[in-house]
């Protein structure tokens, strides 16, 4: 397993070791022992899966403390642009975003720690996204930031006229008005 740190502290790209032959392939997508050795100590308690069509943009979502979630995201089928935004006050990268393509071909996973808003856009005809969470979903703690916040200026790699966004996500506030209670340490 290869773990790569990015330019925003805490976010990691995880690439499994893939064993393939004429029958197909095998890889270990999660192994608590190996993750702990790499410094990922969360105990994941909930698995979520979504299926979306081309042009769907989901996010940017998060739960505030004390119900904040760490997520481990991967794609089972298709291709997405997975994006995180640092929303930890006092962070040197506050308001910065990072995007990475996750697909059923590259098998990369994105580790999203607490203190980050998360979203993705679907770049293939359809995509099935799977993610683990270390805290249960709590509707009262759910918050978000608009995907098209001009201060973030995220390139979702989807033309605006092709974007499919839920009414709920269209009504999220911009970053400067969003409720967040994360502190960078």
Residues with catalytic function = 61, 131
Distance CA 147, CA 60 (A): 6
User: CA separation (Å) from 2 to 41, 65, 82, 172?
Assistant: 17, 30, 18, 35
Beta bridge partners of 57: 121
* Length of the chain, in residues: 185
Neighbour-count burial for 57-89, b at 16+ CB within 10 Å, e otherwise: bbbbbbbbeebbbbbbbbbeebbbbbbbbbbbe
Distance CA 97, CA 107 (A): 21
Distance CA 86, CA 136 (A): 21
């Amino acid at each position: 397993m290869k773990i790569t740190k990015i330019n925003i502290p805490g976010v990691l790209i995880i690439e499994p070791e893939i064993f393939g032959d004429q029958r197909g392939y095998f890889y270990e997508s999660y192994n608590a022992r190996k993750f702990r050795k790499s410094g990922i100590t969360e105990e994941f308690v909930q698995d979520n899966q979504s299926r979306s069509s081309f042009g769907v943009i989901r996010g940017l979502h998060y739960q505030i403390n004390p119900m904040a979630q760490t997520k481990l995201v991967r794609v089972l089928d298709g291709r997405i642009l997975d994006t995180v935004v640092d929303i930890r006050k006092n962070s040197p990268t506050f308001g910065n975003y990072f995007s990475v393509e996750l697909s059923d071909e590259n098998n990369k996973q994105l580790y999203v720690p607490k203190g980050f808003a998360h979203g993705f856009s679907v770049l293939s005809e359809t995509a099935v996204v799977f993610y683990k969470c270390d805290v249960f979903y709590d509707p009262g703690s759910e918050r978000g930031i608009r995907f098209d916040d001009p201060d973030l200026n995220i390139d979702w790699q989807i033309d605006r006229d092709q974007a499919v966004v839920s009414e709920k996500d269209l009504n999220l506030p911009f970053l400067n008005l969003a409720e967040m209670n994360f502190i960078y340490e």
